[in-house]
Amino acid sequence: MTDTEERTEEKTDKKETGKRAMTEEELRTREIEKSIIKRFRKEIWRPFVRALNDYDMIKEGDNIAVCISGGKDSMLLAKCMQEILRHGKMEVGLKFLVMDPGYNPENRKLIEENAKTLGIPIHIFESDIFNVVVDVDDSPCYLCARMRRGNLYANARELGCNKIALGHHFDDVIETILMSMLYGAQVNTMMPKLHSTNFPGMELIRPLYLVKEADIMAWKDYNHLRFLQCACRFTEESTRRENEELSKRKEMKKLIAGFRKTNPYIETNIFKSVGNVNLDACIGYVKNGERHNFLEEYDR
């Protein structure tokens, strides 16, 4: 958004205020929105817009289901998508989709209250995913994640959407790269967008791909907001049982924090490494599910 657009927005605000007095709730919503564009312009707004542009995430005529879990990331994503619709030049449709997989009443209430405070018109649908996976001993979190993703795709399609937007951020990407290397013995990353294999014509996008978690936390604290930390029934009902992937992600966070003490650019370097893969110096790689070895072309 240019300085001219900012001045136009301020004039529009004054006109709206002149027509009628804004309620306290509306004023709070407006201040939260302005904080994204102004106070956190460098940390949030610019990386958000850059990701949309660099990875060609949005096209004219798209209908996008912004998936809201109730946490800080998805709530910020919803606000950023509203702002890009307001300031952008493309005509796109937005739906704000909340799946209740069996939340406790307090958690659902918090989501609804935050959506009202932030001015997000959410569409809630219910599922029994928590009940389905509660007795599963083998990888319940993996099953839960797959079921949640499938439900989101299905409901987004029913609403006429061709894309779903998730709130994964830069730190998620870096942690995924390290986890794949240290625990999966491969080099993988969390992609900025993906075509769905089970829902033809549907696509997944991650608009917060370049936004750092620390900046999302700073935005949350600046606006005195409180979001869900984790509404998973496993973490709510059992302190003995810890999600294995969550544990690994915590380990990656600690590892990166240690690296950062000696190299402040460590995250950027890790991120750039998966965009600068030198196949001339790789022992092997996988392309379209087929494994290749450097010896195939070694003597050519």
pLDDT in tens, 13-47: 554 545 568 899 999 999 999 999 999 999 999 99
- Rounded to a whole number of angstroms, the CA Rg of the chain reads 21
Q: What is the pLDDT confidence band of residue 132, given thresholds at 50, 70 and 90?
A: low
**Average pLDDT over every residue of 201-205:** 97
Q: How are beta strands 63-68 and 93-100 bridged, if at all?
A: parallel
The secondary structure element, H or E, covering residue 212 is: none
* Percent of the chain with pLDDT strictly greater than 70: 82
State the first-to-last Cα distance of the chain, in angstroms, to the nearest integer.
52
- Say if residue 56's pLDDT is above 80: yes
**Average pLDDT over every residue of 58-75:** 96
Higher-pLDDT residue of 9, 268: 268
User: CA 185 → CA 181, 275, 295, distances in Å?
Assistant: 5, 18, 20
Looking at residue 5, its pLDDT comes to 47
Residue 204 exposed, middle or buried by CB count within 10 Å (0-12, 13-18, 19+)? buried
Amino acid at 60: E
**Average pLDDT over every residue of 133-162:** 78
Q: CB-based contacts of 63: which residues, under 8 Å, 6+ apart?
A: 92, 93, 94, 95, 159, 160, 161, 162, 163
Looking at residue 146, its pLDDT comes to 74
pTM, 2 dp: 0.86
Q: What is the pLDDT confidence band of residue 87, given thresholds at 50, 70 and 90?
A: confident
The whole-chain average pLDDT of the chain stands at 87
- Say if residue 195's pLDDT is above 90: yes
- Say if residue 4's pLDDT is above 50: no
**Average pLDDT over every residue of 185-210:** 96
Looking at residue 241, its pLDDT comes to 46
Looking at residue 248, its pLDDT comes to 84
